[in-house]
Structures are given as C-alpha cells and as structure tokens.
C-alpha cells in the first residue's frame, strides 16, 4: 500500500480531508466534525484502500432512524 498524507482543512462549516499524495485530486472526505470527515474519506476510498465495512444487524435500526431524520429535514 502506498504512503498517504492526509490534510484536514476547514471551509465554511465543513471539515475537508484531502489526500495530498495525489496532486490535483479534490478533497473527498467531508463532514461537520473531523471524525465525520475522516470517516467519509475512508468510506469513499474503501476500494482503493482495501477496506471492507460490514454493517452488523444491530446497527441497521439506528441507521434507518438517522436516514428518516435527515429526509424529514428536507
């Protein structure tokens, strides 16, 4: 696996995570918190990083509630 240098910056109300080892690549991790932005970065790059996220059944109800809450805000 190649070495990565991730830079965390802030733009308006969002934290951005940018892989500086790939010049010209736009920031692909975004979030209201640094943890959220880093998580978004790993989620967006899971294939390249060879990370597999397995969502256990115990997490599904909470995620469905979160999604409904977000949809109701629209």
In a domain, 33, yes or no: yes
Q: How does pLDDT run across 17-41, given as a tens digit for each residue?
A: 998 877 777 778 999 999 999 999 9
Domain that holds residue 57: 6-72
Burial zone of 51 (CB within 10 Å; 0-12 exposed, 13-18 middle, 19+ buried): exposed
What is this structure's pTM? 0.72
Contacts (Cβ under 8 Å, ≥6 apart) of 11: none
Segment 39-66 shows an average pLDDT of 90
Q: Quick one: CA torsion of 23, 47, 30, 35, rounded to 10 degrees?
A: -110
Answer whether residue 49 shows pLDDT above 80: yes
Give the count of domains, the chain.
1
Let me know if residue 25 belongs to a domain: yes
Residue 27 in domain: yes
Q: How confident is the model at residue 53 (pLDDT cuts 50, 70, 90)?
A: confident
* Kind and range of the H or E run holding 72: helix 60-72
């Amino acid at each position: 696996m190649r070495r990565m240098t991730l830079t965390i910056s802030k733009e308006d109300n969002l934290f951005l995570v940018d892989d500086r080892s790939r010049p010209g690549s736009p920031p692909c991790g975004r979030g209201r918190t640094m943890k959220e932005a880093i998580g978004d970065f790993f989620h967006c790059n899971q294939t390249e990083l060879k990370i597999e996220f397995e969502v256990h059944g115990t997490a599904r109800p909470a995620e469905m509630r979160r999604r409904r809450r977000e949809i109701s805000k629209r």
